[in-house]
């Protein structure tokens, strides 16, 4: 009897292990939207650009971040991931310039999560440049170089491009994900669903490219 029970349990475990993995299905018009006008279809093998519009001040972006970090560790090689800080006025606009200044200095990757933690765990909203500089100084950033970067033409150009991308893709809230300039995330998504949606849409882009090249 004991042996029979063990065999039955083993059979159940093996059955579960061999069961097909069902991919999450997403509905166009709800979970994601087609961006109009559609850009030209790329060629098979071309990079698929994924934009994440976010704000350090946004609590939803903060909750999404661990899921995006986990996804980045195993994303497909043909996906090029780019963060775009969103401009909704006030401190958010300041943070856009801070983002690109730190990127120019090679400090962004080190401090991206630190900004989320400072704002959402320590409740320091970093509302003005003095507060930002005090925080950055504590993180070992050269403030003179930071100020130079903040006032540079390159940072202004990046900030203008971020604003233009928001207009181009109709970004009215964050977090928002845009895949290949063709699709953007919609409603009804859990945080864990959003990177899954990226893979779903990226696969759709690959199929469209193959079909278009036939």
Secondary structure letter of residue 187 according to DSSP: S
- pLDDT score, position 214: 87
- pLDDT score, position 24: 72
Secondary structure letter of residue 107 according to DSSP: -
pTM check: above 0.75 = yes
**Is pLDDT above 70 for 18?**
no
> Bigger pLDDT: 159 or 3?
159
pLDDT tens string 116-138: 999 999 999 999 999 999 999 99
Tokens matching residue 50:
């994924």
- pLDDT score, position 11: 42
- pLDDT score, position 4: 38
96-to-60, 99, 159, 171 alpha-carbon distances in Å? 17, 5, 6, 15
Tokens matching residue 27:
């509905």
Cα–Cα dist 55/36, whole Å: 25
Cis before 149 (ω within 30): no
Tokens matching residue 99:
């983002």
Domains present along the chain, CATH in parentheses: 2-213 (3.40.30.10)
What beta strand segments (E) does the chain contain?
32-34, 48-54, 79-85, 176-179, 183-185
pLDDT tier at 8, thresholds 50, 70, 90: very low
Number of other CB atoms surrounding residue 156 within 10 Å:
13
- pLDDT score, position 14: 37
């Amino acid at each position: 009897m004991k042996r029979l029970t063990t065999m039955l349990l083993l059979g159940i475990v093996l059955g579960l292990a061999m069961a097909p993995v069902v991919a999450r299905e997403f509905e166009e018009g709800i979970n994601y939207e087609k961006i109009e006008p559609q850009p030209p279809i790329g060629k098979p093998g071309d990079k698929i650009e994924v934009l994440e519009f976010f704000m350090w001040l946004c609590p939803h972006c903060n909750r999404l971040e661990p899921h995006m970090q986990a996804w980045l560790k195993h994303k497909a090689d043909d996906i090029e991931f780019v963060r775009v800080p969103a401009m909704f006025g006030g401190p958010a606009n300041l943070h856009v310039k801070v983002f690109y200044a730190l990127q120019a200095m090679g400090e962004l990757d080190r401090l991206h999560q630190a900004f989320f933690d400072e704002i959402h765990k320590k409740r320091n909203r970093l509302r003005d440049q003095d507060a930002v500089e005090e925080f950055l100084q504590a993180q070992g950033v050269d403030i003179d170089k930071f100020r130079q970067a903040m006032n540079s033409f390159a940072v202004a150009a990046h900030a203008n491009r971020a604003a233009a991308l928001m207009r181009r893709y109709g970004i009215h809230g964050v977090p928002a994900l845009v895949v290949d300039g063709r699709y953007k995330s919609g409603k009804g998504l859990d945080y864990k669903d959003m990177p899954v949606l990226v893979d779903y849409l990226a696969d759709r882009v690959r199929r469209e490219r193959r079909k278009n090249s036939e």
